[in-house]
Structure 1
Amino acid sequence: MFRTALALTLALAGPALATQEYILPTLFDVTGVASDDVLNIRAEPNAKAAIIGTLAPDAFRIEVVEERQGWARVNTGEGSGWVSARYLAYRTDVWQPGELPPAFRCLGTEPFWDAKVEGGDLVLRSPDDQAGDRRPVQGVLDSGIFRDPSRVVVARDMTLFSHPQICSDGMSDRLFGLAATLVLHGEQPSLLSGCCTIQP
């Protein structure tokens, strides 16, 4: 009887215990901050560190790229800083199977490039081509792991891979939570590397 009850309890609890809340990077909303106050962004993950920016009490869709002992790293201006994670509520609508967050965008340097999905096309832009090279998207693939941000965007003659990894654009002190690899197919295949963001 006890063994049957234990087995039933584990069977019922198993999926809930196995479900992870989120994998970074993902988006959060500010919560629990008074309407006449702000959430401080600090240079280091501690309450005594210098304040380098603020978030409004109603700020939403804030991208968090890293967590450390109750602190969350966010980008501000050309740099990044830390906010207390107790004042952030994660969003459950960010990483949906087979989809990209609306603000998903990847960029790189040496050479400079920028890629995002617009109107069903994967559009690759460079300083010399602001109109962009547009390729129809054939599919957005995910790992099948619940809320895993890893994505592959398959387009005609172009494939964009992104996976969770702290990434620098090499031009600023901002840090990103997704590393990107863009493969250009065709007569002269090439590979570009960079970072991705989901911050609106």
Structure 2
Amino acid sequence: MPRTTLAPTLALMLALASPAAATQEYILPTLFDVAGVAADDVLNIRADPNPTAPVIGTLAPDATRIEVVEERRGWVRVNTGEGSGWVNSRFLTYRTDVWNEGALPQGWQCFGTEPFWAFIPQGDSVVLGGPDTPNDMRKVQSVLSTGVFRDPTRAVVAEGMTLVSTPQLCSDGMSDRLFGLRAELVIQGNQPRMLSGCCSIQP
């Protein structure tokens, strides 16, 4: 009797402790590729997450690196033009090469309004700029992450400033697009200040 009781318990404990059981498939935002759409067809982007909603855009059958920022009942939100819409997740497959420990994905950049600003990586530096200010390039000292597998949270520490981006739906205040990362930028110096905005990983 003790043997039949302990065996399933031990098996369950081993299963829970295995890396495969602990691995998260993905955390949004992340990038997806279109899959399962015929070469002569397109994947519709709809105004709402249902199959009868109006079509507001399309994705090519071979489209890749599409940023998904929200998921709802088998549908996912993507940006299209100056707005956002919904795609049936059955026709998307997630990429495993997006969020690597201590690194930023290709295409990652942050921006905000009031005032307008942009924070864009360039090699081993970042450029902070805006329409009314000259570009300010700073050396990146480190890119920090939480250590949680595929967690998009990042802190970029550069000379005299630090930007933290965290997973949260975010509006740029200028369009109907929604982004999956909220940004807080702290600038040090004689007049320290903090700027808020959004980040995107769309290439």
CA distance in 2, matches of 1:19, 1:182: 31
Whichever residue aligns with residue 12 of structure 1, its letter is A
Q: Which residue pairs with 2:186 in the alignment? A: 183
Q: Which residue pairs with 2:78 in the alignment? A: 74
RMSD: 1.1
Q: How many residues are treated as equivalent by the alignment?
A: 199
Shift, 1:117, TM fit: 1.1
Q: Which residue pairs with 1:134 in the alignment? A: 137
CA distance in 2, matches of 1:14, 1:32: 34
TM-score relative to the length of structure 2? 0.95
Q: Which residue pairs with 1:109 in the alignment? A: 113
Describe the superposition over 1:127-165 as per-residue Cα deviations: whole angstroms up to 9, x where unpaired: 0235x1011000000011110000000001010000000
Of residues 48, 55, 58, the one that matches 2:52 is 48
Describe the superposition over 1:18-74 as per-residue Cα deviations: whole angstroms up to 9, x where unpaired: 221000000000000000000000000000000000000000000000000000000
Q: Which residue pairs with 1:61 in the alignment? A: 65
The percentage of aligned residue pairs carrying the same residue is 64
Shift, 1:6, TM fit: 3.3
TM-score relative to the length of structure 1? 0.96
CA distance in 2, matches of 1:36, 1:77: 23
CA distance in 2, matches of 1:55, 1:146: 29
Shift, 1:119, TM fit: 1.6
In the alignment, structure 2 segments of 5+ residues that lack a partner are: none
Indicate yes or no: 2:22 matched with 1:21: no
In the alignment, structure 1 segments of 5+ residues that lack a partner are: none
Indicate yes or no: 2:177 matched with 1:174: yes
CA distance in 1, matches of 2:38, 2:167: 33
Q: State the secondary structure of the residue aligned to 1:152.
A: strand
CA distance in 2, matches of 1:121, 1:188: 22
Shift, 1:17, TM fit: 2.4
Indicate yes or no: 2:9 matched with 1:6: yes
Shift, 1:7, TM fit: 1.0
Runs of 4+ aligned structure 1 residues displaced above 2 Å come to: 12-18
Q: Return 12-21 or 183-192, whichever deviates more.
A: 12-21
